[in-house]
């Protein structure tokens, strides 16, 4: 049985419920609990899963950023002469940054196009286990791609700007 009571009447009602219960059901012990505590207890497993997902997501994002940073560093070192020639011919830092970013943004968009339907399907299956569930709209996926592109832009920008502002004479003189 669930009953809402005011906090000012708590002691009076609590003892009265206990006495009434014991007269009606003397063979069963009277146990009173708080609904919010019962609900919190029922969601302990989901809370643990949420914490694990957050932790592993952070680690995955960190590893992904480090991998992306390493790949951008490798490509910048490999394309040093091309960047030097572009700078000599008048390319701005913005143009060179755009060249670096465009390649990686296309790869991220392709990866998102593959991962988004899979994520939607998995989340829909998981949410079917709940009586009250949210609707997975397009907004959550748009937010995910914007955040992903932002993190990638920050990761790429450092090496791309470093390569773009380097002296083109040094890069062309290495042979």
- The structure tokens listed for 61 are 């994002």
Between CA 137 and CA 29 the distance in angstroms is 47
Query: Based on the domain organization, do 64 and 14 belong to the same domain?
Result: no
| Domain co-membership, 168 together with 82 | yes
Kindly state whether residues 129 and 151 are assigned to the same domain: yes
pLDDT score of 149: 92
Q: What is the pLDDT of residues 92-124, one digit of tens each?
A: 888 888 888 888 889 899 999 999 999 999 999
pLDDT string in tens for the chain (175-residue length): 656 666 666 667 777 878 888 888 888 887 777 777 878 888 898 899 999 999 999 999 999 999 989 988 898 888 888 888 888 888 888 888 888 888 888 989 999 999 999 999 999 998 888 888 888 889 999 999 999 999 999 988 888 888 888 887 777 776 5
Residues 144 and 100 in one domain: yes
Domains of the chain: total: 2
65 and 133 housed in the same domain: yes
2 is a domain residue: no
Alpha helices in the chain (DSSP H): 10-24, 35-42, 44-78, 80-88, 93-127, 138-164, 168-172
Do 52 and 124 lie in one domain? The reply is yes
Backbone Cα Rg of the chain: 30
Q: Are 22 and 30 in contact (CB under 8 A)?
A: yes
Environment class of residue 31 by beta-carbon count within 10 Å: exposed (0-12), middle (13-18) or buried (19+)? Answer: exposed
Residue 1 in domain: no
**Confidence at residue 174, expressed as pLDDT on a 0 to 100 scale:** 62
For residue 39, being part of any structural domain is answered with no
Task: Determine the 3-state secondary structure of 29 from DSSP.
Answer: coil
Length of the chain: 175
Same-domain pairing of 60 and 97: yes
Is 125 within a domain? yes
Q: Are residues 27 and 104 in the same domain?
A: no
* Residue ranges making up the domain that contains 24: 7-32
Q: How far apart are CA 124 and CA 130, in angstroms?
A: 10
Q: pLDDT (tens digit, 9 = 90+) per residue, 53-63? A: 999 999 999 99
Q: What are phi and psi of 137, to 5 degrees?
A: -95, 180
Is the same domain home to 159 and 138?
Answer: yes
- Residue pair 76/163 in contact (Cβ under 8 Å)? The answer is yes
In a domain, 37, yes or no: no
């Amino acid at each position: 049985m669930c009953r809402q009571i005011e906090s000012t009447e708590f002691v009076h009602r609590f003892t009265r419920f206990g006495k009434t219960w014991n007269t009606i059901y003397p063979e069963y012990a009277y146990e009173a609990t708080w609904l919010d505590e019962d609900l919190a207890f029922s969601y302990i497993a989901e809370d643990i899963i949420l914490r694990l997902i957050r932790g592993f997501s952070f680690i995955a994002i960190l590893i992904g950023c480090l991998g992306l940073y390493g790949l951008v560093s490798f490509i910048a070192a490999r394309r040093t002469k091309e960047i030097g020639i572009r700078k000599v011919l008048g390319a701005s830092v913005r143009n060179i940054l755009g060249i670096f970013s465009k390649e990686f943004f296309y790869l991220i968009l392709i990866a998102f196009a593959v991962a988004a339907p899979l994520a939607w399907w998995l989340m829909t299956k998981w949410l079917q286990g709940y009586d009250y569930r949210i609707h997975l709209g397009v907004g959550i996926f748009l937010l995910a791609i914007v955040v992903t592109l932002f993190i990638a832009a920050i990761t790429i920008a450092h090496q791309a700007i470093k390569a773009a502002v380097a002296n083109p004479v040094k890069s062309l003189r290495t042979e």
